[in-house]
A and B are shown apart, each in its own frame.
Chain A
Amino acid sequence: MRLNGTDKKIISPVNLKIFIEEEKYDALKIAVEINGSIIPRSEYASVMISDNDVVEIVSFVGGG
């Protein structure tokens, strides 16, 4: 799979919610796109990431 433009190996399909936690993102401060589609936050727990998926996780920091 690709995460934010970089190749990444996953052994078996992984749940998005768990993937987000493993990658140390805060689910309330991100937007996730998989293969060109934005994933609503309510679906993080049900979506699986598989090999060949292209995942973009956009993370925001505070200040403005």
Chain B
Amino acid sequence: MDIRLNGKRYECAYSSAYDIRKNLFSEEDIIIINGFQISDDCTLKDNDEVFVISRGVMPAREQLEKMMAARHTPSVHNAVKKGFVGIAGLGGLGSNIAVSLARTGVGRMLLADFDIVEPSNLNRQSYYISHLGMYKTDALKNQLQQINPFIKIETCNIRVTDSNACELFGKCDVVCEAFDSPQAKAMLVNVLLQNCPEVKIVSGSGMAGLSSSNLIRTTRKVKNLYVCGDQQSEAKQGNGLMAPRVQICAGHQSNMVLRLLTGTEDV
């Protein structure tokens, strides 16, 4: 029987997962078969993708990449690895979107923001106290490299305007609009829809406060524009932004990006 073991083709004389582990590895090691970590023994079959790895230890680089790929189905992995996603604004939406997309293996990301990490960001944005004062681009890139060292991260410390948006994001497959101000959101969406007909935009609008999680939805507004959020809950005095709804909205945006990269245009 031919299987792939830890990323390499292996002619297997063992009939079950636990047999392989008992004979070649240590009893404490974890076993992942076809992207799923097993907790009971199972029979092996031809072409199974098997990883046996030590708990809590960094595996060899090549092995880690193949294991991360095996966590998703091969078709998803290959499609998202080829993807180029722009993230405009690295606040609560942008930082959380970038983390999700890095974990999923999106091959290339462009992170754009002019600002530094402030104490007031820690309530919802993916930054730590150790990042205070750093450019958000640098702080986020650093995290993403710790999560997935196999993706290409480009950064741009710049305020995105109507005169540089096309140059920055014109070659992306998908751009996540993740700004705070409604005027900036509208500016980016207008510029890209008018000038970059190949670029799809996934925007966030309405995620402040503590209203029901279930009000946050993904809608396709026009051909190249998807909007995630409840489209009403504006951030203002007495209705602040908090981590859960911001992360739900970022999750909607990230999932729509992955759907687009894998060829699904429906919401």
B186 contacts A by Cβ under 8 Å: yes
Q: Which of A26, A28, A41, A64 contacts B93 (CB 8 A)?
A: A64
Within 8 A of B (CB), among A46-61: 56, 58-61
CB contacts (< 8 Å) of A62 on chain B: these are: 180-182, 208, 234-236
Number of interface residues of A (CB under 8 A): 18
Contact B207 A63 (CB under 8 A): yes
Contact B94 A56 (CB under 8 A): no
Nearest residue (CB) in A for B250 is A64
Contact A40 B194 (CB under 8 A): yes
Nearest residue (CB) in A for B88 is A64
Contact A63 B180 (CB under 8 A): yes
CB contacts (< 8 Å) of A56 on chain B: these are: 221-222
Distance to closest chain A CB from B23 (angstroms): 53
A26 to B182, CA, bound (A): 10
Number of interface residues of B (CB under 8 A): 37
Q: Which of A29, A33, A36, A64 contacts B186 (CB 8 A)?
A: A29
CB contacts (< 8 Å) of A41 on chain B: these are: 190
A30 to B182, CA, bound (A): 8
B92 contacts A by Cβ under 8 Å: yes
A61 to B208, CA, bound (A): 10
A14 contacts B by Cβ under 8 Å: no
A38 contacts B by Cβ under 8 Å: yes
Q: Which of A29, A58, A64 contacts B183 (CB 8 A)?
A: A29
A31 contacts B by Cβ under 8 Å: yes
Distance to closest chain A CB from B185 (angstroms): 4
Q: Which of A30, A33, A60, A63 contacts B241 (CB 8 A)?
A: A63
Given A29-B185, A38-B194, A61-B225 contact (CB < 8 Å)? no
Nearest residue (CB) in B for A58 is B221
Within 8 A of B (CB), among A14-43: 26, 28-31, 33, 36, 38, 40-41
A49 to B195, CA, bound (A): 23
CB contacts (< 8 Å) of B234 on chain A: these are: 61-63
Question: 6 smallest A-B Cβ distances: which pairs?
Answer: A63-B235, A61-B234, A60-B185, A29-B182, A60-B182, A38-B193
Given contacts A61-B233, A63-B206, A64-B92, 4 further A-B pairs with CB under 8 A are A26-B182, A31-B193, A41-B190, A62-B181
Question: B residues engaging A (CB < 8 A)?
Answer: 89, 91-94, 178-183, 185-186, 189-190, 193-194, 203-208, 221-223, 225, 227, 229, 231-236, 241, 246
Question: A residues engaging B (CB < 8 A)?
Answer: 26, 28-31, 33, 36, 38, 40-41, 56, 58-64
| A-B contact list, 21 entries, CB within 8 Å | A29-B186, A31-B189, A33-B193, A36-B222, A38-B190, A38-B194, A40-B190, A56-B222, A59-B205, A59-B231, A60-B182, A61-B182, A61-B205, A62-B180, A62-B235, A63-B204, A63-B206, A64-B93, A64-B180, A64-B204, A64-B241
